[in-house]
Amino acid sequence: MKQKEDELQFKIGEHVVYPLQGVGVVMDIRTRQIRDRETLNYVIYLDISDMTVTIPVDKACVIGIRGIVGADEAKKAIDSIKDKYEPSTLDWKQRYLANVELVKEGSIGNVAKVVQALFHRSRVKELPVQERKLYENAMRLLIDEASFALDKTTAQIKKMVDENLEK
């Protein structure tokens, strides 16, 4: 059974967000034979990790692949970082798992929450290695998507984020 091309959510050349991986560009849409079934697949190049992934069109939504947010949503996420921070009462392992889930969900707002939480946590006590890596990854994801959404360089977005974290 062959999938129809009218099921496509993204076009070749369109930038998309792959949760936990960052912004990528749809390089191609290919038909692939797997067993007795033909599937339509997005071929997405992820610049930040210099990796190409192939995702079945019918699984893209389930995986969480989505378009880049609009400028208003990106600005709102960056601005939310300066909101009052409420420390978590969870132990580090539970906190880590909760933050991983927020990043996996893929919304820029949730990624900004993780950046805010881990930044403030690092001010109180040095982060465990896993949390530090999660913080760095969440920061990269936030900056990467916001730079596309706001049409600014990653350095400009990093400066905005850092300024908001310090407030």
The CATH number of residue 53's host domain is 2.40.10.170
Residue ranges making up the domain that contains 32: 5-67
Find out whether 100 and 110 touch, Cβ atoms under 8 Å.
no
If one counts every other C-beta atom within 10 angstroms of the C-beta of residue 155, the result is 10
Q: Are residues 156 and 93 in the same domain?
A: yes
Q: How far is CA 7 from CA 4, 26, 52, in A?
A: 6, 15, 22
Beta bridge partners of 43: 28, 54
Q: Assign 36 a pLDDT band (cuts: 50, 70, 90).
A: confident
CA 164/CA 85 separation, integer angstroms: 12
Strands ordered across the beta sheet of 66-67: 51-56, 37-46, 22-34, 15-18, 66-67
| Amino acid sitting at position 87 | P
Q: Are residues 23 and 95 in the same domain?
A: no
The residue that leads in pLDDT, 7 or 152, is 152
CA 19/CA 155 separation, integer angstroms: 22
Q: Which of 35, 67, 99 is the last residue of a domain?
A: 67
Q: Are residues 58 and 123 in the same domain?
A: no
pLDDT tens by residue, 105-133: 989 999 999 999 999 999 988 999 999 99
Q: Are residues 80 and 58 in the same domain?
A: no
What pLDDT does residue 5 have?
A: 54
Find out whether 134 and 118 touch, Cβ atoms under 8 Å.
yes
Q: Are residues 17 and 39 in the same domain?
A: yes
* Domain count across the chain: 2
Q: Are residues 63 and 89 in the same domain?
A: no
pLDDT tens by residue, 128-163: 999 999 999 999 999 999 999 999 999 999 999 999
Find out whether 154 and 83 touch, Cβ atoms under 8 Å.
no
CA 112/CA 142 separation, integer angstroms: 6
Q: Are residues 18 and 49 in the same domain?
A: yes
Q: Which of 67, 96, 111 is the last residue of a domain?
A: 67
Q: Are residues 93 and 131 in the same domain?
A: yes
Q: Is the pLDDT of residue 42 over 80?
A: yes
Q: Are residues 99 and 124 in the same domain?
A: yes
Q: Where are the beta strands (DSSP E) in the chain?
A: 15-18, 22-34, 37-46, 51-56, 66-67
**What CATH code is carried by the domain that includes residue 77?**
1.20.58.1290
Q: Are residues 122 and 41 in the same domain?
A: no
Q: Are residues 57 and 80 in the same domain?
A: no
